[in-house]
Chain A
Amino acid sequence: MTISRRTLLGSSLIAPALLRPAFAADPTKVAFVYVAPIGDAGWTFQHELGRRAMDAALGTAVKSSFVENVEEGADSERVIRQLATSGNQMIFTTSFGYMNPTLKVAQAFPKVHFAHATGYKRAANVSTYSARFYEGRYLAGVIAGRMSKSGVIGYVAAFPIPEVVQGINATLLGAQSVNPKATVKVVWTSSWFDPGKERAAADTLIAQGADFITHHTDSTAVAQAGEEKGVYTVGYNSDMSKYGPKTCLTAVTMVWDQYYINTVKAAIAGTWKSDDVWGGIGQGMVKLAKLNPAVPGNVAAEIATKTADIAAGKLHPFAGPITGQDGKIKVAAGASLADKDIAAMNWFVAGVQGKI
């Protein structure tokens, strides 16, 4: 490329790194944007584990960095733009609320690759990726159905968005597959991270007769509430067993390692292209954490079988017949819900006590 003064000026403002000749030794710069502090458990922590795994696998070929605790919205656009300006060739934005900021920045930096987690808008240089959390939720539901005496499962949830609704429905369907009388009580905290509120919500559910609690929020408060009151729980995002050694039976965890390794490899090789990845148990993106010894052997065996069935595609959590909260048939017998309907899920199955 001929370097005129104008392009020199323009590109020095935009991407100085691209102007340098690409020596083989130059590591590819990869950046991650996190919505919360990394901590030692939770959504962001799992992404950080993925980043570390990617670093370890690709060694000197990459140079990765992250910015944590970035608020969704306008502030995130500034951070993403800054990362694009400072020569990162691949940027992962790891929270739903970064969707529009990511697309906006991507438009200004057509040569930088972006991947946005849990979003649904793509562009030529913006991929999306997410995991089929609901597959793990279904298995957790089976455990709940087997272990709960009252059949009342408490669910501490953040916001009524499809990703959360899928988890609630899948949990109940899993529980109903072994205990048809199971129900789920949902309470909303209206916050992804507020340990105090999550704790109060769990206490409330326990007081109202739920003897099995799970959550779709970011802290370990629910696992602790269960431990203190002797109620079984299932964690989310990360293994939370150390917060509930006696009562936290397992956790639905996300494993991004392989996705990050493959995506960055493609970016280095120049074969990266925008796509939409939605992996589940079969792809190793969703895993159940090690089962607590309190789970009896026959239930553990049942979980192992069902895990294998889901991985093989023999068991679909949203296979019909499914009746909605309003009494209408949502999925006919013999059919199973299509991906696009799962992604846009905004209804509860019969037996969920709660409102969207």
Chain B
Amino acid sequence: MPDPGIILAILVATLRAATPLVLAGLGELVTERSGVLNLGIEGMMLVGAAVGFMATVVTGNPALGMIAAMLAGAAMALVFGFLTLSLLANQVATGLALTIFGIGLSALLGVDYQSHPITGLATVISPHLSEASPAVQQLLLIDPLVMVAVVAPFLVHWYLTRARGGLVLRAVGESHDVAFALGYPVIRIRYFAVMFGGAMSGLAGSYLSLAYTPMWTENMVAGRGWIALALVVFSTWKPIMLALGALLFGFVTIAQFQVEALGIDIPPQLLATLPYLATIAVLVLISRDTTRTKLNAPAALGRSFHPST
């Protein structure tokens, strides 16, 4: 029987590992539900991580850091929106360019901040963290951003299925021509969705640089933006499924370490592939009904809209 301390540690670690995926994934989900495919998540997360970290170092206040990260992510998304929504550039190419741009820009911005160690969010909130007993330590590691990641999927779900704004946003994503004919400002709604996606990616990035590993180093997002993107598709654009997928991915990643630390005899190469295999397997099961998946996919995803066409 594993000791309850370890079970608690696994649960908390799973939540923490899933948090950036949930935050960035929800942002992308809303963006895609409005019919826009933004492949720039990784780049926006990196810029959010760098700017959030810099703002925290300068102001000493992680809350301001998070706000700055959201603004930075939204600003990156605004560039993407201007190119794809106003200038009708190809969304796939522009999104990829945004990622590459974000990698470079974050490295440039953060170059003087690499050697600034800061206090992690959990320790800022409870300064005596390192002296607490292990169980209390675990509970204190559930910081406000983790709580946001727990609540946000339900809010986004509610917004997309119950709120008027969310229903309009989905209508825009299903058929921009019809939505436009009904008198909805398609482009404006898409700008809103794209910038929401950017702000959430920025917030996810700041979780990494302020709470998860309180530091800034180049490329620290290490591919989580792409995993968030994959989760959106595999979850068939459903916020709660997305959160479950992220939790599963986080859990299997953590479980791998636990299994190794317990000394159970499984090759490490196999264990390292498990998070991907398990997530794919479960999400394929979720989305095995192709008709429903097609119904869920925003029909206008990735298509440019201009009132004259």
Chain A residues near B (Cβ < 8 Å): 36-37, 39-41, 69, 154, 160, 185-188, 190-191, 193-201, 203-205, 207-208, 210, 219-221, 224, 227-230, 242-243, 353-356
Neighbour of A196 across the interface among B131, B222, B261, CB < 8 A: B222
Chain A residues lying within 8 Å of B215, measured Cβ to Cβ, are 195, 219-221, 224, 243
A/B interface sample: 14 pairs, CB < 8 A: A39-B114, A195-B208, A195-B212, A195-B213, A195-B217, A198-B213, A199-B213, A204-B13, A204-B254, A208-B262, A224-B117, A224-B214, A228-B129, A355-B266
**Surface stretch bound by A, among B29-37, B167-175, B236-244, B267-275:** B267-275
Neighbour of A37 across the interface among B10, B13, B212, B219, CB < 8 A: B219
A244 to chain B, nearest CB (A): 8
From B103, which residue of chain A is reached at the shortest CB distance? A69
Chain B residues lying within 8 Å of A40, measured Cβ to Cβ, are 114-115
A71 to chain B, nearest CB (A): 12
Q: Does B9 contact A (CB under 8 A)?
A: yes
Chain B residues near A (Cβ < 8 Å): 5-6, 9-10, 13, 16-17, 20, 107, 114-115, 117, 120, 122-123, 129-131, 134, 137-138, 208, 212-215, 217-220, 222-224, 253-254, 256-258, 260-263, 265-269, 271-272
Give Cα A190–Cα B129 distance, bound, in whole angstroms: 30
Chain B residues lying within 8 Å of A355, measured Cβ to Cβ, are 260, 265-268
B130, B217, B269 pick with most chain A CB within 10 angstroms: B217
Across the interface, do B253 and A228 meet the contact criterion of CB distance under 8 Å? no
A186, A204, A243 pick with most chain B CB within 10 angstroms: A204
Across the interface, do A39 and B217 meet the contact criterion of CB distance under 8 Å? yes
B231 to chain A, nearest CB (A): 16
Chain A residues lying within 8 Å of B224, measured Cβ to Cβ, are 196
A350 to chain B, nearest CB (A): 13
B215 to chain A, nearest CB (A): 6
Chain B residues lying within 8 Å of A228, measured Cβ to Cβ, are 120, 122-123, 129-130
Chain A residues lying within 8 Å of B254, measured Cβ to Cβ, are 200, 204
Across the interface, do B257 and A194 meet the contact criterion of CB distance under 8 Å? no
Across the interface, do A187 and B272 meet the contact criterion of CB distance under 8 Å? no
Across the interface, do A196 and B213 meet the contact criterion of CB distance under 8 Å? yes
Across the interface, do B213 and A188 meet the contact criterion of CB distance under 8 Å? no
Q: Please provide the 4 A-B residue pairs with the shortest distance between their CB atoms, ordered closest to farther.
A: A207-B9, A230-B130, A190-B272, A37-B218
Chain A residues lying within 8 Å of B129, measured Cβ to Cβ, are 228-229
From A226, which residue of chain B is reached at the shortest CB distance? B130
Chain A's interface: helix, strand, loop or mixed, by majority?
A: mixed
Chain B residues lying within 8 Å of A203, measured Cβ to Cβ, are 9, 13
Provided the pairs A40-B115, A204-B13, A228-B120 are in contact, do residues A185 and B261 lie with their beta carbons within 8 angstroms?
yes
B57 to chain A, nearest CB (A): 13
Neighbour of B5 across the interface among A196, A198, A199, A207, CB < 8 A: A207
Chain B residues lying within 8 Å of A242, measured Cβ to Cβ, are 115, 117
Give Cα A191–Cα B273 distance, bound, in whole angstroms: 12
Across the interface, do A188 and B222 meet the contact criterion of CB distance under 8 Å? no
B43 to chain A, nearest CB (A): 15
Give Cα A203–Cα B11 distance, bound, in whole angstroms: 12
Chain A residues lying within 8 Å of B120, measured Cβ to Cβ, are 224, 228
Chain A residues lying within 8 Å of B212, measured Cβ to Cβ, are 195-196, 199
Provided the pairs A228-B120, A355-B266 are in contact, do residues A204 and B213 lie with their beta carbons within 8 angstroms?
no
A253 to chain B, nearest CB (A): 16
A235 to chain B, nearest CB (A): 12
New A-B pairs, 11, CB < 8 Å, besides A196-B224, A208-B262, A224-B214: A37-B107, A37-B218, A40-B115, A69-B219, A193-B222, A197-B253, A207-B6, A207-B13, A208-B261, A243-B215, A354-B263
Across the interface, do B253 and A188 meet the contact criterion of CB distance under 8 Å? no
Across the interface, do B130 and A200 meet the contact criterion of CB distance under 8 Å? no
Across the interface, do B137 and A229 meet the contact criterion of CB distance under 8 Å? yes
Across the interface, do B208 and A196 meet the contact criterion of CB distance under 8 Å? yes
From A68, which residue of chain B is reached at the shortest CB distance? B218
Chain A residues lying within 8 Å of B137, measured Cβ to Cβ, are 229
Provided the pairs A39-B114, A200-B254, A228-B122 are in contact, do residues A188 and B260 lie with their beta carbons within 8 angstroms?
yes
A38 to chain B, nearest CB (A): 9
Chain B residues lying within 8 Å of A69, measured Cβ to Cβ, are 218-219
B213, B260, B263 pick with most chain A CB within 10 angstroms: B213
